[in-house]
Amino acid sequence: MDNPFSRYQNLLRTYIKPQTIPILYKLWTDRSRVYHNINHLNGVLQYIQRYAYKFNQDEFEQLVLAAFFHDAIYDMKDPKGNEDKSIKLFRDSYIGQDKKFELVDKAIECTKYRKRPTNFLLRIFWDADNEGFREPWIVFLKNEHKIRHEFSHIPEDIYKKARIEFLKSNFGLFGPNGDENVRKLIKYIRDK
């Protein structure tokens, strides 16, 4: 898989403080990240690229910036504040002179919620971040193992309860295959 920091270096240099780019790279390649790492970033960017023909250049650039920042801060011990901290990092790093940050903020923020946005651009971004729910079962299960590894500091019984609750909140969001993945994973976690 290619390096998105090389592929989008011109865009990053245009809109982001130069000292932030290596920080972003370090965050995305941190060894503690097993799922929310540069492979996830690449997946989000590839999904956005797939729909690029539906965006104007400004929209495309905003969605790409949102991808780089959406999980930039991913604190496994306090995951509830990650999106807000990622938005702050973006705002503190942004050097563009226009209002591109507005869509970036909204795109990052929409990933907090288990509801598909109605706005087309936000829905594309939300779908890109959640594409894993539509993966074949074996990939979905592998992703679960990666996520569990990221949260290995949480006792098993607490993780099970919280994860099942989270998974249940996804019914109806990703079609029949997504619902089947969720059902199978809930059973897998309960039986484990």
The answer to whether residue 97 scores a pLDDT higher than 80 is no
pTM of the model: 0.95
| Percent of the chain whose pLDDT exceeds 90 | 91
- The domain locations on the chain are 4-129, 135-191
The band of 78, judged by pLDDT with boundaries at 50, 70 and 90, is: confident
Do 71 and 40 form a contact (C-beta atoms < 8 A)? Answer: yes
Give the pLDDT mean for 130-147: 97
Residue 163 has pLDDT above 80, yes or no: yes
CA distance linking residue 35 with residue 135, whole number of Å: 14
pLDDT at 2: 82
Specify the pLDDT at position 45: 98
What confidence score (pLDDT) does residue 61 get?
Answer: 95
Q: Tell me what pLDDT residue 145 has.
A: 98
Q: Residue 12: which of 43, 35, 45 has the closest Cα?
A: 45
In this predicted structure, what is the pLDDT of residue 21? 98
Give me the helix-helix angle, 82-93 and 20-28, nearest 10°. 150
Q: Which residue's structure tokens are 């109806």?
A: 172
- Separation of alpha carbons 154 and 157, rounded Å: 8
3-state secondary structure 17-73: CCCHHHHHHHHHCCCCCCCCCHHHHHHHHHHHHHCHHHCCHHHHHHHHHHHHHHCCC
